[in-house]
């Protein structure tokens, strides 16, 4: 029976139609600026986001880190949520690559307020790091795929701009935020100087992310893409997959969200498991489902995932008693039902 892989939406493989698009791609040397398929992807995304320019990069981590380096100088400070991807999952990039400190804010589901931003900004004094950049993550991974309300985005970015800070949106899963809210990429992007999006998560491309912003910012982004080793040659092969994903896989994100809701409802009927509360009550909004194991269960999250893995259901432990499941384009409704039935069996065997 087929593996049900809910570890991430990054585990998907190119569909046959996407492979055909890759095979047909017209390529050049992107480092020399003449790969037409990469140019098309960058132009189309920049237009989608309402920005002057964009730069195709290999990964979401690089999409964020080149933006951080483009906005800052060594000794500067970044303001971000304590659960942000740039703090927890990018290998210490802000410090190692840009020489920056991070001022971490707290708040429910990966959010914070304009008041917190204002309070976090350092005085203009030689004793202090220079507050330089605000980073918002939407959807927020550790917040359980939570979506920022647009009025809150507007509020925190306005507070940053009033103090002369630049703003960056880690929108790796912004496609999911748009599917949930009904807003467009441009609606969110207009509040930020730069925006990063990923094609290899919810959209199912094999490789690739992108950073967009004004022409001056993206000029610096390209310099740091090269410096960080992310400049590629005939990368139109990868860009073709991303273009296909943008054309064919955005609308279907609602299917992933529906499957996440189905998963959450079924999980609610399994004693010993509960949707995680990352602030403001347990909720599932997009394609990420965080759930907790009750103390009475005779296993921790790692052992629970191991038992599931042995039965063909793959998930990831994210804390001692917390598990993450991510719906994606390779998991259909019948697989969700089979996965939750197997979860119930594992719970019974450890009760």
* Ordered domains of the chain (ranges, CATH): 16-247 (3.40.640.10), 252-349 (3.90.1150.10)
Residues 6+ apart with CB under 8 A from 192: 136, 157, 167, 168, 169, 213
Token pair listed for 121: 């900004």
Residue 119 confidence (pLDDT) above 80: yes
> Whose structure tokens read 């605000």?
134
pLDDT tens digit sequence for 120-158: 999 999 999 999 999 999 999 999 999 999 999 999 999
pLDDT tens digit sequence for 170-220: 999 999 999 999 999 999 999 999 999 999 999 999 999 999 999 999 999
Residue 39 confidence (pLDDT) above 80: yes
Asked if the bond preceding 139 is cis, omega within 30° of 0, the reply is yes
The pLDDT of 98-113, averaged and rounded, is: 98
Residue 280 confidence (pLDDT) above 90: no
Question: pLDDT > 70: what percent of the chain?
Answer: 100
> What is the reported pLDDT for 351?
84
pLDDT tens digit sequence for 209-249: 999 999 999 999 999 999 999 999 999 999 999 999 999 99
The pLDDT of 33-39, averaged and rounded, is: 97
β-partners of residue 197 are: 171, 210
pLDDT tens digit sequence for 60-99: 999 999 999 999 999 999 999 999 999 999 999 999 999 9
Residue 32 confidence (pLDDT) above 80: yes
Q: Over the chain, what is the mean pLDDT?
A: 97
> What is the reported pLDDT for 1?
73
The pLDDT of 281-298, averaged and rounded, is: 95
The pLDDT of 2-30, averaged and rounded, is: 97
pTM of the predicted structure, to 2 decimals = 0.96
> What is the reported pLDDT for 127?
96
């Amino acid at each position: 029976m087929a593996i049900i892989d809910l570890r991430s939406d990054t585990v998907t493989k190119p569909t046959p139609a996407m492979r055909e698009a890759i095979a047909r791609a017209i390529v050049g040397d992107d480092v020399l600026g003449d790969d037409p398929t990469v140019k098309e992807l960058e132009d189309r995304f920049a237009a989608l986001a309402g920005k002057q320019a964009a730069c195709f990069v290999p990964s979401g981590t690089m999409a964020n880190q080149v933006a951080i380096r483009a906005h800052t100088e060594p000794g500067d400070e970044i303001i971000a949520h304590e659960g942000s991807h740039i703090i927890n999952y990018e290998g210490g990039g802000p410090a190692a690559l840009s020489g920056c400190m991070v001022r971490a804010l707290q708040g429910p589901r990966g959010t914070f307020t304009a008041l917190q931003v204002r309070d976090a900004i350092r005085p203009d004094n030689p004793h202090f790091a220079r507050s330089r950049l605000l980073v918002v993550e939407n959807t927020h991974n550790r917040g359980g795929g939570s979506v920022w309300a647009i009025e809150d985005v507007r509020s925190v970015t306005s507070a940053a701009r009033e103090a002369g800070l630049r703003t960056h949106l880690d929108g790796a899963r912004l496609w999911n935020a748009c599917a949930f809210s009904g807003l467009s990429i441009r609606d969110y992007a207009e509040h930020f100087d730069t925006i990063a999006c990923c094609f290899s998560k919810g959209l199912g491309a094999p490789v690739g992310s992108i950073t967009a912003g004004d022409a001056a910012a993206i000029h610096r982004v390209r310099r740091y893409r090269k410096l960080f080793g992310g400049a590629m040659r005939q990368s139109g092969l990868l860009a073709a997959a991303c273009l296909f994903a943008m054309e064919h896989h955005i609308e279907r994100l609602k299917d992933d969200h529906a499957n996440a809701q189905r998963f959450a409802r079924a999980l609610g009927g399994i004693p010993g498991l509960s949707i995680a509360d990352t602030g403001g009550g347990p909720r599932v909004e997009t394609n990420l489902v965080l759930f907790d194991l009750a103390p009475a269960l005779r296993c921790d999250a790692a052992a629970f995932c191991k038992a599931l893995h042995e039965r063909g259901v793959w998930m990831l432990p994210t804390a001692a008693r917390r598990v993450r499941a991510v719906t994606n384009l390779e998991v259909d409704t019948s697989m969700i039902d089979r996965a939750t039935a197997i979860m119930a069996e594992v719970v019974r065997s450890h009760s």
